[in-house]
Structures are given as structure tokens and as C-alpha cells.
């Protein structure tokens, strides 16, 4: 009879064989060395909750559950962002802190060994904070899930602290250049303590001009583009409002920032500043223009080399005397040509309403009207310009084409005319009456601006007459 017994005791396997009574007994043994080491990390905090400015202690315990010894054990603790590091120590090894990361070199830890690390910080903000840590050694760890630990701590404001917040808004948004812009700044003490020495500082953008500043508590003043309001004392849950008025000087995007401060420690400093973005836009003033004052149809003969009279009509809110003549442009695109006349922009009361108007003249051939435009077509012409203060304005009116067929004409100021059926090539740019050719009247659209009503009527009549004659001539030629 033979009996085989196998026993395993912590890395040692013993094989024992028992043979018959007459056989010798022998023992065979073999030792196996374990290499895994299960490190376990636990963590706690105290006190919780903790007040802003008080010490908060993290306690970290590292235990080796074996079976092997863990060598070169390292503990790494990542501190929350809203704390100030004070100290770190351990019952074995050394600890140090760099940029919010605490590292403890714990050395070797045998089976069942325990090391405790203590980390002290000061919370700076009243909020929930989370601290995380991890431990590891050189050996394989059969259970990595217990190598990490995290702790959430509630941080509250202390009884002698005051959370001051500021909020800012601006209107209107967008605001026109030269317009008034109002900033409303609200300050609130969220407690728990009374806040004293509350001061609001608003740095105005360079693109505005200060007008005034007032507050519902305390006083405000301005110096060098910085508005300072001394609010004074605010009880818990009490608020104050500052009103700052400026003038927007330039078009573009402006950013206005404000900051509030007080004597007490603020447990939530992140709400002590605010800013608002405002869009400043150029505003174009719409005004009335009148092509051929006194004429309804506004006939335009594109065969002509003369001038087209245009009136800018003044109004109670639009003074033509403030116009910067160098900025005026006119044509189908609103920027085709400048005024071309011996008297550019002379002032007269065209409609006898007691308000000054301005007369301008533009070359017919410089208006940018397409050579494909047909007789009878109605074309809209645009006038643009600026006042002396930079305010833009524009206006529009229409003309009726009364002549354009079988001819060539330039589109540039001062351009030469092409020939047309023996048309005279005379090119006196300042002539009030263009040349005639082929026996047809080419009396132009240039009217005597000294008598706008009469001139407009004559121009209208001439447009009809010329259009009729040219239409017959064109038909005869086509035939």
C-alpha cells in the first residue's frame, strides 16, 4: 500500500511518500518565493467641514497585504487647486511638495507593514474640494483597485469673512458712435460677516469718454479713465449699485472691466471681478436727395456729356452746412464719382422751407450706369458722404433713361466720348450745353440751378422730346 500526501504551506510544497512496512520512508520538498505585494491606501480629512483660512489635515495610511515585501514604495497626493500647502510628513521616509503635488518616498514595506503620511493645507475658497492620492511599489500588485483614494471636504466661510460679488451690464448694445453708454454695476455682500471698506474700481476702455458716475451708497469719482466708488459698509445680503455713463467715441468692440474689494477676507474671490463687451457701430443718417429738383420723372440722357443736378435737402436734424464736401460720392454704387462743377456744394433754400439745402452737379458719364441700359429704364442712384464730425449719411433717388442706343460712352471722370454717327467730338468738360451731332438735339441734363423748379420742368420736357426724336432716328437707322 502506498500513500501520497501533498501539503502547501505559504510558498513551501512538501511531498511525502509512505511505502510498505519494509520500505524506507523519504521526504521531498521544494521552496517557491512569492513576488506580489498588495498595497492598500486609505485616506481621511479633518475637520470636515472646515472654515476658509483654517488648517485642514489629510491622513493617508499605506498597508502592505503581501505576500511579498514591497520595495521603494511611493505615495503621491495631488492637492486641490484652492488650498495653500503647509506641510507634509510620514512615519517612514520623507515627503516634499512641488506645484501642488506632494510626494512621499516611504522605502520598503514588508508584509503587514503600515506607514502613515500627514499633509496639512489651508483652504482659500468656500466650496467643496477634492483631494486624490495614489501609492505604488516596484513589485506587481495583484489588486490595483485599492491603490487610490480620494476625499471630498466642504469648505465654509468663517464668521468673520464676507463674500463680496460684483456684476456688470452695459446698454445699449450695440451703441452708435457718439452715443451715450450706461454701465450698471451691482455689488452684493453674501456674508456671513458685515463687509467694510467696500471699494469698486472700474477701468474704462480707451474708446470712451467719461461723463458721470453715481452710486446708491457712498461716492464715486473718476481720474485718468478709472472710476472709483467708495461704497463703504454693506451688511450681510445688502447690495449697492453704481451707474457709470460714458460716450462711445470710436466704432469697434470695447471691453469694460470692474473689480470690487473689501477689508474682510473673501472666501470666494472668483466673483470679485466682471466685465462686459460692447459693440460700437457707425450710424448712417438717412437724408433726402432730389435729382433735378422740381422734376418728377428725372430724365437722364446717357448720350450727354453734361452735368446732372442733385440737391441734398436739409432738415431740422440734418444741417447741410456741416457736410464734408470731400467725402461726397454719387452713382449707381454710391461711390462712382465726386461732384464736378465750378460751384461745388453751394447753399440755397431750394424748396422754400426756410432750411438750407445744397446743390451739387455730377457728370452723366461718371455715374456708372451700364451701357446696356435701355431707354425707359428706371435707375436708382445713391449719394453717400460724411459730416465734419465723421457721421455718415446717404440718400437715393431715381432717374428715367431717355437716350442710350447705338453709342459708346465712358465711365470714368473726364473720359473722352466715342463717335456716333458723325457726332461732334468736342469735349469741353465745363460746357453747360454738350455738342450736337447728326442733326439730333443732345441738350443735356444740366439745369440752371439758380431756378431749380423751372429747370427741372424744362429738363423733364427736354427728356421727353429728345427721347421721342432719338427713338424715331434709331428706328429709321435700324430699318
Give 445 or 239, the one with higher predicted confidence: 239
The residue among 228, 256, 281 that closes a domain is 281
The 8 Å CB, 24+ separation contacts for 231-234 are: 231/187, 231/198, 231/199, 231/200, 231/260, 232/196, 232/197, 232/198, 233/194, 233/195, 233/196, 233/197, 233/198, 234/162, 234/164, 234/187, 234/188, 234/189, 234/194, 234/195, 234/198, 234/262
Same domain, yes or no: 195 and 265:
yes
Instruction: Give the residue with greater pLDDT, 155 vs 33.
Output: 155
Residues 270-292 have a mean pLDDT of: 89
Q: Is the pLDDT of residue 200 over 60?
A: yes
CB 440 within 8 A of CB 477: no
Q: Name the pLDDT band for 254 (thresholds 50, 70, 90).
A: very high
Percentage of the residues of the chain whose pLDDT score is greater than 70: 77
180 in the same domain as 120: no
Residues 291 and 217 both lie in one domain: no
Residue 65 sits in the same domain as residue 128: yes
**pLDDT mean over 469-478:** 35
Is the predicted pLDDT of residue 462 greater than 50, yes or no? no
pLDDT of the residue at 158: 83
Rg of the chain over all Cα atoms, to the nearest angstrom: 46
Gap between the Cα atoms of 306 and 289, Å rounded:
20
Mean pLDDT, range 256-265, rounded to an integer: 95
Q: How confident is the model at residue 9, as a pLDDT?
A: 36
Query: Are 289 and 398 found together in one domain?
Result: yes
pLDDT of residue 190: 94
Mean of the per-residue pLDDT values for the chain? 80
Q: What is the DSSP string of 53-73?
A: TS-EEEEEEEEEEEESPEEEE
Q: Given a cut of 70, is residue 23 above it in pLDDT?
A: no
Mean pLDDT lowest among 40-44, 51-55, 145-149: 51-55
Last residue of a domain, one of 111, 134, 156: 156
What are the residues whose beta carbons fall under 8 Å from the beta carbon of 369, sequence distance 6 or more?
A: 300, 302, 331, 332, 379, 401
Q: Which of 286-295, 343-352, 369-378, 401-410 has the lowest mean pLDDT?
A: 401-410
Q: CA-to-CA distance for 148 and 165, rounded, in angstroms?
A: 37
Q: What's residue 33's pLDDT?
A: 62
Q: Per residue in 71-103, pLDDT tens?
A: 999 999 999 998 999 999 999 999 999 999 999
Q: Quick one: 115 and 21 in the same domain?
A: no
Q: What is the pLDDT of residue 391?
A: 82
What is the average per-residue pLDDT within 387-391? Answer: 83
**Parent domain of 340:** 285-478
Residues 6+ away with beta carbon under 8 Å from 81: 100, 129
Clarify whether residues 169 and 186 are in a common domain: yes
Measure the CA–CA gap between 320 and 312, rounded to whole angstroms: 7
| 394-418 pLDDT tens trace | 999 999 998 875 444 433 333 333 3
Whichever domain contains 428, its CATH number is 2.60.40.10
What is residue 21's predicted lDDT score, i.e. its pLDDT?
A: 42
| Each residue's pLDDT tens digit, 295-328 | 878 899 888 888 999 999 999 888 999 999 999 9
* CATH code for position 50: 2.60.40.1530
> Are 398 and 455 within one domain?
yes
Q: Within this chain, do residues 20 and 139 fall inside the same structural domain, yes or no?
A: no
pLDDT over 50 (residue 196):
yes
The confidence band for 32, taking pLDDT boundaries of 50, 70 and 90, is: low
For residues 203 and 302, membership in a common domain is answered with no
Task: Report pLDDT for 357.
Answer: 93
| Domain closes at, from 121, 156, 191 | 156
The segment with the largest mean pLDDT, out of 17-21, 212-216, 293-297, 393-397, is 212-216
Count structural domains, the chain.
Answer: 4
Q: How confident is the model at residue 31 (pLDDT cuts 50, 70, 90)?
A: low
Same domain membership, residue 292 and residue 234: no
Q: Which is more confident, 82 or 24?
A: 82
296 and 210, same domain (yes or no) = no
Share of the chain above pLDDT 90, in %: 57
**pLDDT tops 50 at residue 476:** no
Dump pLDDT digits (tens) for 112-153: 999 999 999 999 888 999 999 999 999 999 999 999 999 999
Query: What number is the average pLDDT over the span 245-253?
Result: 92
Report whether pLDDT(383) > 90: yes
Amino acid at each position: 500500500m502506498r500513500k501520497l500526501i501533498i501539503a502547501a504551506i505559504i510558498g513551501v510544497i512538501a511531498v511525502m511518500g509512505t511505502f510498505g512496512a519494509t520500505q524506507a520512508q523519504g521526504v521531498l520538498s521544494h521552496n517557491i518565493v512569492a513576488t506580489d505585494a498588495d498595497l492598500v491606501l486609505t485616506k481621511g480629512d479633518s475637520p470636515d467641514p472646515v472654515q476658509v483660512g483654517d488648517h485642514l489635515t489629510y491622513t493617508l495610511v499605506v498597508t502592505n497585504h503581501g505576500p511579498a515585501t514591497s520595495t521603494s514604495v511611493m505615495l503621491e497626493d495631488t492637492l486641490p487647486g484652492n488650498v495653500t500647502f503647509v506641510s507634509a510628513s510620514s512615519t517612514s521616509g520623507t515627503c516634499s511638495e512641488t506645484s501642488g503635488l506632494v510626494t512621499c518616498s516611504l522605502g520598503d514595506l514588508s508584509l503587514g507593514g503600515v506607514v502613515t503620511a500627514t499633509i496639512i493645507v489651508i483652504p482659500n475658497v468656500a466650496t467643496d474640494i477634492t483631494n486624490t492620492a495614489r501609492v505604488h511599489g516596484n513589485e506587481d500588485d495583484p489588486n490595483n483597485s485599492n491603490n487610490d483614494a480620494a476625499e471630498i471636504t466642504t469648505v465654509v466661510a468663517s464668521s468673520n469673512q464676507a463674500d463680496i460679488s460684483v456684476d456688470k451690464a452695459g446698454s445699449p448694445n450695440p451703441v452708435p458712435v457718439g452715443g451715450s453708454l450706461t454701465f450698471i454695476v451691482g455689488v452684493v455682500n453674501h456674508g456671513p460677516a458685515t463687509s467694510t471698506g467696500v471699494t469698486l474700481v472700474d477701468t474704462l476702455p480707451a474708446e470712451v469718454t467719461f461723463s458721470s458716475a453715481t452710486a446708491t451708497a457712498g461716492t464715486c469719482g473718476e481720474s485718468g479713465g478709472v472710476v472709483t466708488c467708495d461704497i463703504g459698509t454693506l451688511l450681510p445680503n445688502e447690495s449697492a449699485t453704481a451707474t457709470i455713463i460714458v460716450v462711445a467715441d470710436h466704432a469697434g468692440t470695447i471691453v469694460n472691466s470692474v473689480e470690487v474689494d473689501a477689508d474682510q477676507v473673501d472666501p470666494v474671490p472668483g466673483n470679485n471681478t466682471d466685465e462686459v463687451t460692447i459693440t460700437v457701430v457707425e450710424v448712417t443718417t438717412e437724408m433726402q436727395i432730389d435729382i433735378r429738383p422740381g422734376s418728377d420723372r428725372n430724365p437722364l440722357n446717357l448720350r450727354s456729356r453734361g452735368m446732372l443736378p442733385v440737391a441734398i435737402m436739409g432738415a431740422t436734424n440734418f444741417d447741410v452746412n456741416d457736410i464734408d464736401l470731400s467725402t461726397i460720392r454719387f452713382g449707381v454704387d454710391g461711390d462712382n464719382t465726386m461732384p464736378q462743377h465750378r460751384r461745388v456744394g453751394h447753399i440755397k433754400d431750394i424748396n422754400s422751407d426756410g432750411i438750407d439745402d445744397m446743390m451739387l452737379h455730377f457728370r452723366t458719364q461718371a455715374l456708372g450706369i451700364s451701357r446696356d441700359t435701355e431707354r425707359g429704364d428706371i435707375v436708382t442712384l445713391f449719394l453717400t458722404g460724411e459730416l465734419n464730425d465723421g457721421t455718415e449719411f446717404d440718400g437715393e433717388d431715381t432717374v428715367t433713361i431717355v437716350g442710350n442706343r447705338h453709342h459708346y460712352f465712358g465711365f470714368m471722370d473726364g473720359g473722352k466720348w466715342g463717335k456716333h454717327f458723325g457726332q461732334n467730338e468736342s469735349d469741353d468738360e465745363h460746357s453747360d450745353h454738350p455738342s450736337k451731332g447728326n442733326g439730333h438735339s443732345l441738350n443735356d441734363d444740366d439745369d440752371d440751378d439758380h431756378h431749380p423748379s423751372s429747370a427741372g420742368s424744362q429738363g423733364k420736357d427736354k427728356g421727353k422730346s429728345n427721347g421721342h426724336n432719338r427713338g424715331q432716328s434709331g428706328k429709321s437707322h435700324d430699318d
